[in-house]
Amino acid sequence: MSKPDWLYGIHSVTAVLKRHPERVLEVKVQEGREEGRLDEVLGIIRQLGIACQHVNKKSMDHQFPDANHQGLAARCRLAAPLDEHGLFDLLDKLQVPPFLLILDSVTDPHNLGAVLRSADAAGVHAVMTTKDKSVGLTPVVRRVAVGAAEVVPFVQVTNLARLIKQLQDRQIWVVGTELDETAKSLYEADLKGPLALIMGAEGPGLRRLTRENCDQLVYIPMQGDVQSLNVSVAAGVCLFEALRQRSSF
């Protein structure tokens, strides 16, 4: 675990309360805030017996000046990234084919936060990236992810090429995304079995060594004049096509 810090917003706090209540140390709630979703969260807090302090709006705004706190904040032991060993322990415990997402040199925290939200929604078992030249679990990432950063296992590795080989040794099919239409269409690829999808950064895409180590390359067919997508949007498209296929067998 990383050192305790504050999460804020109804979605983020609800996610950690439901999935990892043992991490929550205390909660602050804005007085006079009337919202059905907030009442539900307060019921969970009371049931768990977590210390809860009611404060006025001025106090909340002062403590979280740049945050859309929605009248709710929780001080938590935040999830720390896993390393390769943590990832392999996770994979060993899975009872279903692995469904993984790898990000190659994605540096924008807003993109990572959005990707984590999509990964959680699609049922991804872990999101992986490198320790260098990639963004980690920053406060901005956690805010944009609205709770997903606390529930989706996040893995940072030192050598992406080595990780790909280790996944392949476990019979996990590694599929990289490309803009080149000489690759296979996403919708023609078989994404049902043990799978690791790799998304590159906007602009450069996958690095050469990453691309060469993939088992298969796919592209997203597009109809408009603009032939590229934001990495978080592209990740959502690919993840939900994989989910569609994996849900149909």
Count of Cβ atoms closer than 10 Å to residue 219 Cβ = 18
Query: What's the CA gap between 86 and 52, in Å, rounded?
Result: 33
HSE value, Cβ hemisphere, 13 Å, CA-based, for 181: 5
- Alpha-carbon distance 108 to 140, whole Å? 10
Q: Say whether 113 counts as a known binding-site residue.
A: no
60's CB contacts (< 8 A; 6+ apart) are 28, 30, 69, 71, 73
Annotated binding residue 200: yes
Dihedral angle sign, alpha carbons of residues 44, 122, 231, 212: positive
Residue 85 and residue 172: Cα distance in Å, rounded? 17
The Cβ of residue 62 has, within 10 Å, a number of other Cβ atoms equal to: 10
Question: Is 203 annotated as contributing to ligand binding?
Answer: no
* DSSP classification of residue 64: S
What is the DSSP-derived secondary structure letter of residue 121? Answer: H
CA distance 104 to 205: 8
Residue 93: Cβ-neighbour burial (10 angstroms; 0-12, 13-18, 19+): exposed
Which residues belong to the annotated binding site for S-adenosyl-L-methionine? 200, 220, 229
Binding-site residue set: 200, 220, 229
